[in-house]
Structure 1
Amino acid sequence: MSTRHLEALFKPKSIAILGASERSNSLGGMVLRNLMSTDYGGKLVVVNERGYNNIHGIPCVKKVGQLPFKPDLAIICTPPETVPMLVRQLAQKRIKTAMILTGGLSRTHSRSGRPLMYSVQEVAKETGIRVLGPETIGVMVPHNNINATYMHMGILPGKIAYIGQSGTLASGIIDWAFSRGIGFSHLTTLGDSIDIDLDDLIDYLAQDRNTKAILLHIENITSPRRFISAVRAVSRGKPVIAVKSGRTPASQWAPVELPPGIVDGDKIYDAVLRRAGVLRVNGSDEMFDALETMTRMKAVRSEPLHIITNGTGPGVLAVDRLASLKGELGTLSPETVSELAKLLPPYWTRKNPIDLNYDAGPQLYEQVLAILSRDPHVSNVLVLFAPSLTEDSLQVADAVIQFSTRTHLNVFTCWLGHSTVQDARDAFFDRGVPTYSTPDKAVKAFMHMANHQRGQRVLRETPESYTDPQVDRTKARKNIQAIYGSGRRILTNEEVRDLLQTYGVPMLDTHYCDTEEQVVELARELNVPVDVRILHEEACKPFAMENTGRGRIRGRVKGLVEEKSIRESCQFLLKSYREHFPESGYMGFAVHPSFQSVGGVGFSLGVTRDPVFGPLMFCGASGATINVVADRRVALPPLNMVLARDLLAQTYMYRLLLDFSYRPEQDINKVCETLVLLSQITMDIPEIKTLEILPLYFDRSGAVAVNAMAELGAPMKPAILPYPQELREWILLPKSKRRVELRPVRGEDEPNQIDFHSRLSPESIRYRYFHYRKNFSHDEMVQMLQIDYDREMAFVAMAQHDNGTEEALGIVRAWTDPDNLYSEFAIIVRDDMKGERLGWVMMRKIIEYCTERGTIEMVGSVLPDNRPMLALAQKLGFAVRYDDEEEVMALRLPLNTPDEWQAERLRVLTGRK
């Protein structure tokens, strides 16, 4: 994850093109002509082994070693077998960045039999040269007059950045966008991405002021942790739209291995993009419409949609599509209905959608829009128009355009037809009003925006306070690691139960018997109806029944009372086991009291593991009569209560629980708690490969897990860095002798942070935020507390009360740039903590943390009259100087020794000599 040398890729002051000639089909020649056509202002030079004096008037040399200057960027367009050597020569020339437009390096092999792209990758790792490609189209940056591609046309300047993996699709996007007048800040494709990857470019574009939205075409994600971290960071401030190709095995170049229990790998990408805050679309057509929506449509303040139409048919189509996408059709207030009744025919429906009749003209459209704008419950309005003999479509469009420029309403349009409404569509486009060709497209585009904002709200929602049970994590971890060390990979039923109960998952009381006689004797002692399950090695594997290829084999008999029926059931289960699993070791019977679930509602939930994305949480239906896999949804751990509920709400079983539970909210919370606990097990014990609770049932007293299976594997890290428990520590304040915990901040800390800020003096708040402010919004608190521990750290000092509540005494944070060059710190401590040395302790903790993660230096800004902080900074070793431009004291503390690029980059960023 690094933007190292990407300035040379997008802002080169000089470019060398390797392999250009004046032949019409020369790849390098096309790139050179495109660069010249944009009036590129930097220096150009060509390298061609034939030794021309010039190519298209640009100086040409025969070899890389003969270059008259060191270019910022080298563009390689030579045959595949020459590329590895040329990249090495460029690196030896100390050229920092190269683009490889040449294709075929993944299919052309070296003498050792490996594809040539791996030879190039080794050179890049060894020398530090950054490489885009191979098989990239190049880059376009209109703001810098750069078209370093072989594309058939250029792009307009704009605010959207496009990063793709397919050159052909990029060509179509360029053509479409130009016809619509849509511009780009940057456009490129990754090709085989042997070095520069999606996350690198996203990090760079996150810092680019010309880029307001990012459009992604994804074929695969090779570094999920880096990708998710980069996209999560940028998506809070800039919308990110993604289309994923290769969604099925038939469309994949090489079908990928699926995790156990998952039959649709596309659900994993759904979970990844959802967690990263990305708006996902399902194809190029939707991508274009989403682009129109995200760049032109106003923010959706509330989700109800109101529809104006001049005919019943289009309005009904729009309502049907809205319902299918789980959108909300708005209602009309009595006052609005009364006002509309004065304008519309007496036979109008008096409800949404509002049918104006076929002869509706510009004035009526504008009057109806004005009435809706006065209704506080109306926020989004879709205006439909079908061509008619009585009205001019352009005049109606002009009226809508004029109204949209002076209203708070989110107005978007659909003019049906083509030849007679094209002028109207062009007018909408010219004035920035979103417009679509069909009601279906219009509603879908609106729901893109609504769903994107729903997802952002979930990521910004403050998690419910959920206290982990007091579990001995160390003991549980050691037990599992001992089993793993012994070479055994499948846990027994009893071992899984013990693990889950240790973490607080409610389990049904179960007894274990070796023989039929023991089962009969136990049932006699229990004196209640019992369920009997046969245990063997294969049955203890998660998803075993899904993977046998024989359908669900009966392994349990329920509701047994009579001795005869118990014996017959044991014999039946033994016979079935010997018939279907003769090689699976026998492990006896599990017996438990029969459990009557509410409405048959049962969940299958647990953990599985993807070879690329690591551990995954899943949740869905259970039961022999249900297609368990079809309802299974996945999410990335770690989960909190908000994310667990978001996962649960995606399942069909969630709706059944709402319908059949005696206490829906309580039972929903219980499922979410179980998911959070399973997530914690996965974080604490990375050897857990798969774990399935099947089923989790409900009765009048709550939820209980009936059965569970688990399998171990090599330790695997999650794609999202979990809460860093290892950074927690206790200190003793010297003056008051209070014990205080220093720990990383959590999203659940919002209530105590609001209380903390309410106790600060105006002066302390001004010192921290550079101006006085009384209140902080929820979104501001989210930015401060729901952090990505890969990129940011904040430690809070918390005093514990006897009743279990916490009280915040101070907070220190450090934001680190993507290249880990510098961390910008900020600290604030409660006024009544003076003399406790809390600020010193917290600053030392954040300094040590940043030093250990390899950050080069720590920086900060302090108001000139903040003498306590300036004195503390000098004691800690910070260099202090006055910044004339910002009118603050600039603080700087070296932490680690930079390499050559880091030192140069810091000089550029800080303006130091």
Structure 2
Amino acid sequence: MSIRNLERLFNPASVAVIGASMRPGRVGSTVWRNLLEGGFAGPLYAVNPKYTALGRIAVVPRVQDLPQVPDLAVVCTPPDTVALLVQQLASLGTRAVVLLTAGLSAAQQAEVLAAAQPALLRILGPNCIGLLSPYVHLNASFAHRDALPGELAFVSQSGALTTAMLDWAEARGIGFSHCVSLGEHLDIDFGDMLDYLASDARTRAILLYIESVTAARKFMSAARAAARNKPVIVVKAGRSRKGQQAAASHTGGLAGNDLVVDAAIARAGMLRVDSLEQLFDATEALARFRGNQADTLTLLTNGGGAGVLAVDAAEHLGVELTQLSSATLHALDALLPPNWSHGNPVDIIGDAPVQRYVQALQLLLADAACGAVLMMHAPTAIVPSAEIARALLPLATHKPPALMACWLGAQAVQEATRLFQGARVASYSTPEQAVRAFGFGVTYRRNQAQLLEAPSARPVQPEVDSRGTQTLVQQVLAGGREMLSELEAKHVLQAYGIPVVPTRRADATPQAAQQAAAQLGWPVVLKILSPDISHKSDVGGVALDLASEDAVHRAAQQMLERVRAARPDARIDGFTVQAMVHRPQAHELIVGASLDRVFGPVILFGQGGTAVEVVADRAVALPPLNAPLARALMERTRVSRLLKGFRDTPAVDMEALQGVLLAVSQLLADIPELAELDINPLLADAHGVVALDARIKVSSTAAGGEQHFAIRPYPQHLAEPCRWNGRSLTLRPIRPEDQAQHLAFLQQLAPEDVRMRVFFSQRHLEPSELARLTQIDYAREMAFVAVAPDPMNARGPEQTLGVVRALSDPDNIDAEFAIIVRSDCKGRGLGHVLLDKMVRYARANGTQNLVGMVLAENLAMRHLARSVGFVERPSDEAKVCRLVLALNGSGTELSCPAP
């Protein structure tokens, strides 16, 4: 379930409290008091066999005795009573329950769900403090205070943090559209909340406090949909949680839970912060400064100390300060006293009158290269802060916003702060707060860019041998092993186009090692080969740069002695001998993959080598990857700056490095048994990449493969060829790379065809709108395009001839479809081909109804729809038909407006 019946939770017509009481200190009495004092306008009912009345309100002993069916019930009774109460409420017709009761066993929770689900009764909790919806005066909680009305929705897994937030926010005059405590989220979870709040008109931004996530694909899909509409800001607890200690590879240990959560939040287009204070700082920035697209910051201050604090904060947080142009510097020289700072920060000196503020800010805002401007003011006796604020307001309210403010102090700047906040200018109390908030905006835009990426699980790569790799994996598992040998692991890498160093296997004798080395040529590297030893260097199982037979013989003998002493339990199958690679300017990197227990397959990139855990320079991404996402993954590491080249070291071949990440992404999609992968070190320099060592762990029970990706990849399997009017077409899902091709298609549509499709005339299409058409979430939306080669140039790029779209509601009950065909292809059956494709897909996807809104005058579309079984139903809009196809075959034809 998702948003079904959630309107009954947030906007009920009536509320019943099961366990309402008058005993001080009881949950039932607190909830009852909060509902009464909150001013809820609808009927309130109390259920408790111990009372006949609570004040002037009659109390009934049983749920069945309620005078009418309540929309919402709040249950605060002992655990062993809950399942029966839920069953009774469901039978009555109640569709939402706030379950405050704590201490339900797993069996009791299962009974509650079994009682609720057949009636689609929604449950908030258990073990929560309830919810508050100030606009309808609903306080269905045992919080210690009510919430102020506002535009922020707060959803928390922690009840204690919910009450702390209410207290903290009231002291700052911050209000909420909804405040929700999820508790153990037995039914209603973060995905449901995100889906509901994304379309809630009163909610401007969504704030989440998360301790754990369940149903990762549902969560990611809901988060991506919500983040397209409004800012979603997350405080996620558990940054200090230790990684997986029993991991068989570096990646398994390094890709701990928190790194994966970071990657998921970024990929969904959300923003992560560390504290409640930062939650509101970020909200202020995104709500009032969201339109600013600058990545650099210019500092304007009347005091050097504030400027230094801001610079320190920028350095610490990775915020880039603007390099002022010579023209701007000359203009400032002419305006400011000789002892001004002559750079960024722009220190206009503490004696600055109002006009100096105005003129300096005008100069900076006139230079588009200045990026964003942070104006910092410390109060002085020269001029009241409020006068400066009033003078700056015409510049401060510039659209898009270009100015942030920091009013240092308290009482002296109180009026100035009020003026700026009243004009919706992002304002902060300290330089550090302001700089951090600007940094949040930069990170948010980067995450929003990732949100628009929807790559294929199998990117365009050199041909891979997935079948041979699957055969090898099955042989390993059939042999009772989980760890591939080094040679087997390198074979897998080669099968996916990842270069590896030439390697030979040798028996566990010095003589065999000598023979293998002679075949390769000198110098060589010698490694122990054991299914029980993953990290060879830890037990002295690696010898480098051996340049002769004698050196190999001695190294092999000593290695056997060291390993047997360190790991007497380990089976020794022999040695691997590989060519010694001399690439003095190469960087040692690590690329890996593992399975997160919540988000499934993940990919890791960072600085490698034997000190990989100590250096801890790594980042994680969720597959599938494409080129932009692979680059974004690399950019999140410190080593990425070195890879771009420095001094006499040239830049790394980034395309080759990117290819490794794409290959690993495809490997994760193809091989569901893949549990862990470690390529360490991966050498990378200007000449390319080469894997020196690899570890792969497989498991017959691994929850891998693309079916377990947290983000549904591009569904290539839905592509199919067809014939249309003697031409060969391909019907396939639209993909992000189709932007230019789709724009060309839209530009060839006649204005009248566009009007019939979207009910108004053709207009300019913004880049963001075009991106929205081609970069879709395949978990809840589908667009099929009919593409064909250009008839005038068979070797040229393909053309789009038509498109059909369907967007399902979060419960997959109704999917609204729309179809449009290139104007020169109309009337020749292509619309029928596209609509048939969508009907087949929707039915297979479990959608119950396919729905379309069509102008009554659009007779061609109405005829097409009827020809495939749609019925026409009245619409709320005049001159519009509502077309409905019940995918189980039912439906009744009703009247439709005449054209």
TM-score by length of 2: 0.92
C-alpha contact 1:34 1:147 (8 A) present in aligned 2: yes
Deviations 1:386-436 (A, max 9, x none): 122323223223333354235654222222222433343334334433222
Deviations 1:420-456 (A, max 9, x none): 3334333433443322221111111121122111221
Deviations 1:500-521 (A, max 9, x none): 2222222222222225334323
Q: Using the TM superposition, give the Cα deviation of residue 128 of structure 1 relative to its aligned residue in structure 2, in angstroms.
A: 3.8
Residues 1:190 and 2:182 aligned together? yes
Deviations 1:543-575 (A, max 9, x none): x46xxxxx7333332222211112112222322
Residues 1:397 and 2:389 aligned together? yes
> Is the deviation greater in 328-337 or in 433-442?
328-337
Match of 2:762 in 1: 773
C-alpha contact 1:856 1:897 (8 A) present in aligned 2: no
Q: Using the TM superposition, give the Cα deviation of residue 665 of structure 1 relative to its aligned residue in structure 2, in angstroms.
A: 6.7
State how 1:370-409 maps to structure 2 within 5 Å.
Answer: 370-405=362-397, 408-409=400-401
Residues 1:587 and 2:578 aligned together? no
What is the alpha-carbon distance in structure 2 between the residues aligned to residue 795 and residue 881 of structure 1?
A: 25
Residues 1:516 and 2:548 aligned together? no
What is the alpha-carbon distance in structure 2 between the residues aligned to residue 225 and residue 897 of structure 1?
A: 30
What is the alpha-carbon distance in structure 2 between the residues aligned to residue 802 and residue 663 of structure 1?
A: 45
What is the alpha-carbon distance in structure 2 between the residues aligned to residue 806 and residue 584 of structure 1?
A: 58
What is the alpha-carbon distance in structure 1 between the residues aligned to residue 571 and residue 246 of structure 2?
A: 32
Taking structure 1 as reference, are residues 669 and 56 closer, same or farther at Cα in structure 2, changes over 3 Å only?
farther
Match of 1:858 in 2: 850
What is the alpha-carbon distance in structure 2 between the residues aligned to residue 429 and residue 796 of structure 1?
A: 48
RMSD of equivalent CA atoms? 3.0
Match of 1:632 in 2: 618
Match of 1:5 in 2: 5
Match of 1:548 in 2: none
What is the alpha-carbon distance in structure 2 between the residues aligned to residue 802 and residue 629 of structure 1?
A: 53
Taking structure 1 as reference, are residues 579 and 165 closer, same or farther at Cα in structure 2, changes over 3 Å only?
same
SS at match of 1:659: coil
Match of 1:744 in 2: 733
SS at match of 1:420: helix
C-alpha contact 1:44 1:59 (8 A) present in aligned 2: no
Match of 1:571 in 2: 557
What is the alpha-carbon distance in structure 2 between the residues aligned to residue 706 and residue 686 of structure 1?
A: 25
C-alpha contact 2:619 2:636 (8 A) present in aligned 1: yes
What is the alpha-carbon distance in structure 2 between the residues aligned to residue 735 and residue 83 of structure 1?
A: 65
What is the alpha-carbon distance in structure 2 between the residues aligned to residue 569 and residue 803 of structure 1?
A: 58
Q: Using the TM superposition, give the Cα deviation of residue 94 of structure 1 relative to its aligned residue in structure 2, in angstroms.
A: 3.0
Match of 2:643 in 1: 657
Taking structure 1 as reference, are residues 829 and 139 closer, same or farther at Cα in structure 2, changes over 3 Å only?
same
What is the alpha-carbon distance in structure 2 between the residues aligned to residue 386 and residue 700 of structure 1?
A: 51
Match of 1:297 in 2: 289
Q: Using the TM superposition, give the Cα deviation of residue 611 of structure 1 relative to its aligned residue in structure 2, in angstroms.
A: 1.8
Q: Using the TM superposition, give the Cα deviation of residue 775 of structure 1 relative to its aligned residue in structure 2, in angstroms.
A: 5.2
State how 1:702-721 maps to structure 2 within 5 Å.
Answer: 702-713=688-699, 714-716=701-703, 717-721=708-712
Of 493, 500, 503, 2:486 maps to 493
What is the alpha-carbon distance in structure 2 between the residues aligned to residue 158 and residue 615 of structure 1?
A: 39
Instruction: Give the residue type in structure 1 aligned to 2:93.
Output: R
Instruction: Give the residue type in structure 1 aligned to 2:89.
Output: L
Structure 2 gap ranges (5+): none
Instruction: Give the residue type in structure 2 aligned to 1:192.
Output: E
Q: Using the TM superposition, give the Cα deviation of residue 80 of structure 1 relative to its aligned residue in structure 2, in angstroms.
A: 3.5
Q: Using the TM superposition, give the Cα deviation of residue 297 of structure 1 relative to its aligned residue in structure 2, in angstroms.
A: 2.9
Instruction: Give the residue type in structure 2 aligned to 1:401.
Output: L
Q: Using the TM superposition, give the Cα deviation of residue 233 of structure 1 relative to its aligned residue in structure 2, in angstroms.
A: 0.6
Residues 1:732 and 2:723 aligned together? yes
TM-score by length of 1: 0.90
C-alpha contact 2:814 2:847 (8 A) present in aligned 1: yes
What is the alpha-carbon distance in structure 1 between the residues aligned to residue 783 and residue 264 of structure 2?
A: 25
What is the alpha-carbon distance in structure 1 between the residues aligned to residue 656 and residue 608 of structure 2?
A: 16
Instruction: Give the residue type in structure 2 aligned to 1:92.
Output: S
Of 163, 180, 184, 2:172 maps to 180
State how 1:748-759 maps to structure 2 within 5 Å.
Answer: 748-759=737-748
C-alpha contact 1:105 1:115 (8 A) present in aligned 2: no
Match of 1:610 in 2: 596
C-alpha contact 1:20 1:26 (8 A) present in aligned 2: no
What is the alpha-carbon distance in structure 2 between the residues aligned to residue 868 and residue 32 of structure 1?
A: 58
Match of 1:689 in 2: 675
Q: Using the TM superposition, give the Cα deviation of residue 190 of structure 1 relative to its aligned residue in structure 2, in angstroms.
A: 0.3
Q: Using the TM superposition, give the Cα deviation of residue 586 of structure 1 relative to its aligned residue in structure 2, in angstroms.
A: 2.5
C-alpha contact 1:74 1:98 (8 A) present in aligned 2: yes
Taking structure 1 as reference, are residues 257 and 485 closer, same or farther at Cα in structure 2, changes over 3 Å only?
closer
Structure 1 gap ranges (5+): 546-550
C-alpha contact 1:48 1:63 (8 A) present in aligned 2: yes
Taking structure 1 as reference, are residues 145 and 98 closer, same or farther at Cα in structure 2, changes over 3 Å only?
same
C-alpha contact 1:298 1:410 (8 A) present in aligned 2: no
Q: Using the TM superposition, give the Cα deviation of residue 888 of structure 1 relative to its aligned residue in structure 2, in angstroms.
A: 3.1
C-alpha contact 2:624 2:665 (8 A) present in aligned 1: yes
What is the alpha-carbon distance in structure 1 between the residues aligned to residue 189 and residue 671 of structure 2?
A: 31
Of 417, 427, 431, 1:425 maps to 417
Deviations 1:579-635 (A, max 9, x none): 233333323222222212342402111211122221111111221255466112211
SS at match of 2:412: coil
Deviations 1:692-713 (A, max 9, x none): 1122113553112222221112
Match of 2:527 in 1: 533
Residues 1:277 and 2:269 aligned together? yes
Q: Using the TM superposition, give the Cα deviation of residue 122 of structure 1 relative to its aligned residue in structure 2, in angstroms.
A: 4.2
> Is the deviation greater in 132-141 or in 765-774?
765-774
What is the alpha-carbon distance in structure 1 between the residues aligned to residue 481 and residue 794 of structure 2?
A: 44
SS at match of 1:220: coil
Taking structure 1 as reference, are residues 833 and 185 closer, same or farther at Cα in structure 2, changes over 3 Å only?
same
Match of 1:504 in 2: 497
Residues 1:324 and 2:316 aligned together? yes
Instruction: Give the residue type in structure 2 aligned to 1:468.
Output: Q
Q: Using the TM superposition, give the Cα deviation of residue 816 of structure 1 relative to its aligned residue in structure 2, in angstroms.
A: 0.7
SS at match of 2:167: helix
Match of 1:83 in 2: 82
Of 95, 105, 125, 2:103 maps to 105
What is the alpha-carbon distance in structure 2 between the residues aligned to residue 219 and residue 708 of structure 1?
A: 34
What is the alpha-carbon distance in structure 2 between the residues aligned to residue 803 and residue 629 of structure 1?
A: 50
SS at match of 1:453: helix
Taking structure 1 as reference, are residues 434 and 579 closer, same or farther at Cα in structure 2, changes over 3 Å only?
same
Percent identity over the alignment? 39
Alignment: residue pair count: 882
Residues 1:96 and 2:95 aligned together? yes
Taking structure 1 as reference, are residues 593 and 660 closer, same or farther at Cα in structure 2, changes over 3 Å only?
farther
Residues 1:892 and 2:891 aligned together? no
C-alpha contact 1:609 1:689 (8 A) present in aligned 2: yes
What is the alpha-carbon distance in structure 2 between the residues aligned to residue 418 and residue 226 of structure 1?
A: 45
Residues 1:701 and 2:687 aligned together? yes
Q: Using the TM superposition, give the Cα deviation of residue 284 of structure 1 relative to its aligned residue in structure 2, in angstroms.
A: 1.5
Q: Using the TM superposition, give the Cα deviation of residue 475 of structure 1 relative to its aligned residue in structure 2, in angstroms.
A: 4.4
What is the alpha-carbon distance in structure 1 between the residues aligned to residue 697 and residue 398 of structure 2?
A: 62
Taking structure 1 as reference, are residues 878 and 407 closer, same or farther at Cα in structure 2, changes over 3 Å only?
closer
What is the alpha-carbon distance in structure 2 between the residues aligned to residue 597 and residue 659 of structure 1?
A: 15
SS at match of 1:624: coil
What is the alpha-carbon distance in structure 1 between the residues aligned to residue 232 and residue 399 of structure 2?
A: 27
C-alpha contact 1:462 1:642 (8 A) present in aligned 2: no
State how 1:663-678 maps to structure 2 within 5 Å.
Answer: 667-678=653-664
What is the alpha-carbon distance in structure 2 between the residues aligned to residue 580 and residue 803 of structure 1?
A: 63
Match of 2:192 in 1: 200
C-alpha contact 1:142 1:184 (8 A) present in aligned 2: yes
Q: Using the TM superposition, give the Cα deviation of residue 210 of structure 1 relative to its aligned residue in structure 2, in angstroms.
A: 1.4
C-alpha contact 1:14 1:72 (8 A) present in aligned 2: yes
SS at match of 2:369: coil
SS at match of 1:500: helix
What is the alpha-carbon distance in structure 1 between the residues aligned to residue 216 and residue 284 of structure 2?
A: 28
